[in-house]
Amino acid sequence: MSNRVLNTLHKWALRLYYVRILIIGIALISFSIIFIFTDYKPSEKVGFNIFLAVMCGLLGIILLLIGLFKTAETEYVIKRDWHKEDD
């Protein structure tokens, strides 16, 4: 494979990494919203249901922020290295 093809594959692999983190964060936030606003309760204990909703929400927000940071960082590196010539 040429160096250009390998660089393109590497860029898309990096993008897949941050997209995966963003999707996990969004999914956890969605579960938290479902636990809070619907009648679905995974446990009979009310305290555990609230704890589970809050933890899913917090972890989702944290992963979403990490994913957004990785997005900005990765796209910056890709654009910075875009002008470099193939060796």
pTM confidence score: 0.76
Q: What is the C-alpha separation between 46 and 49, in angstroms, rounded?
A: 5
Give residue 28's pLDDT.
Answer: 94
29-30-34-35 Cα dihedral, nearest 10 degrees:
-30
Work out the angle at residue 40's Cα, subtended by the Cα atoms of residues 38 and 43, and round it to the nearest 5 degrees.
135
Q: Which tops the pLDDT comparison, 85 or 51?
A: 51
Give residue 23's pLDDT.
Answer: 94
Q: What is the C-alpha separation between 18 and 16, in angstroms, rounded?
A: 6
Q: What is the C-alpha separation between 48 and 19, in angstroms, rounded?
A: 30
Query: Tens of pLDDT along 1-60?
Result: 787 788 788 888 888 888 999 999 999 999 999 988 888 888 888 889 889 999 999 999
